[in-house]
Amino acid sequence: MSSGVDDAVVEAELKRRLRRWRAGSVALFAFALFVTGAVSHRSGAWNHASVTGPHLVRLKVTGVIGSDVSRWTKALSKAEKEPSVKGLLLDIDSPGGSVTGGEELHDAIERFAKSKPVVTTMSGVGASAGYMIALPSKRIFAERSTLTGSIGVIMESPDVSGLLGKIGVNVDELVSGPLKGQPSMVKPISPEGRVMLQGVVSNLFDQFVAMVVAGRHMPEDKVRSLADGRPYTGQQAVALGLIDSLGNRDDARDWLAKTCGLKAEPDVVTIGQAVRRFSFRRRLIGLFGGAVMSWSGLNLDEFLPQDSERLDGAVSIWKP
């Protein structure tokens, strides 16, 4: 009788140990996955030591340009100082975005262009701030159907005061001066506030126009006649002098290689790439839920929060 009890106790203990071992193994594997992801993020940075001989670097700017462009500007600064880097291929597919981000990236590319040639290639769209960052280039290529230009600045502020009034909600604002609360979501812009904000937008627009004048070597009056916010196709932009040539990425690369005195198909290294940082929770969900989701025909990314770039203040973006 006691032997049966002893066997049951031993079996229960073995089961507990097995559960602990399994739990520990899963935790260890999840931790290893997390560490591997962190290492892969660091290794995503460009390492010029892995490339031998003269070569070109490519900076890909896709999507909306946010206010934080530090990963791009840092990569440009590093490439500028590397003797084996002979030129920059700027690959743009962006409708624009933050005025501040566009300006910072423009200035970083301009600094690079002072010591090494830069060529820009545009695919689907290179408009507003996406066009701004191309201006320091020695030559700009685009497809015939590329949408570019859209030179201008926008400042938007939603006004929900009418809706709040309908539901009986009043919001009091205490401000240090009559223009401090402008613009506001809870009250219309005052006439004085509209004049002030229009002055800000006009000044930012003047800065954009000055970049186009300097980058495209065009008279200011001609630039202003083109800078009413409208986009142009690549074919139209060539005729207007906003870009230089119709062509694709290969055409831009070949032109840059020839300009830099490199071989016909030079080595090109992409810099400034973003590697998504997954949270520990996302890693665990991905580890254990990915297979189940795939079996059910669903996409795990649709059920997890994505990284987003928030745009505040003045923007230079083409919005169809």
**Span 140-159, average pLDDT:** 92
Residue 99 in domain: yes
Is the same domain home to 148 and 258?
yes
Least confident residue range of 141-145, 274-278, 297-301: 297-301
Residue 19 in domain: no
Q: Check whether 276 has a pLDDT greater than 90.
A: no
Would you name the residues annotated as active-site residues? Answer: 128, 180
Is the same domain home to 208 and 260?
no
Q: How far is C-alpha 260 from the chain's CA centre?
A: 28
Amino acid at 179: L
Residue 21 in domain: no
Is the same domain home to 261 and 290?
yes
Assess contact for 89 and 301: CB atoms under 8 A. no
Is the same domain home to 53 and 73?
yes
Is the same domain home to 106 and 249?
yes
Residue 33 in domain: no
Better-predicted residue by pLDDT, 12 or 194:
194
Assess contact for 100 and 66: CB atoms under 8 A. no
Assess contact for 201 and 153: CB atoms under 8 A. yes
Is the same domain home to 69 and 119?
yes
Number of domains in the chain: 2
Assess contact for 51 and 269: CB atoms under 8 A. yes
Concatenated DSSP letters of 202-264:
HHHHHHHHHHHHHHHT--HHHHHHH-SS-EEEHHHHHHHTSSSEE--HHHHHHHHHHHHT--S
Is the same domain home to 127 and 259?
yes
Is the same domain home to 206 and 265?
no
Residue 266 in domain: yes
In this structure, the number of other CB atoms found within 10 A of the CB of residue 156 comes to: 10
Residue 116 in domain: yes
Domain containing residue 311: CATH number: 3.90.226.10
Residue 128 in domain: yes
Domain membership of residue 95 as a residue range: 44-152+229-320
149 φ, ψ to 5°?
80, -120
Is the same domain home to 206 and 67?
no
Least confident residue range of 29-33, 40-44, 62-66: 40-44
Is the same domain home to 308 and 248?
yes
270 φ, ψ to 5°?
-80, 130
Of 167, 188, 214, the residue at which a domain comes to its end is 214
Note if the pTM is more than 0.95.
Answer: no
Is the same domain home to 165 and 307?
no
Best mean pLDDT range from 14-28, 32-46, 234-248: 234-248
Is the same domain home to 235 and 204?
no
Q: Is 272 exposed, middle or buried (0-12, 13-18, 19+ CB in 10 A)?
A: buried
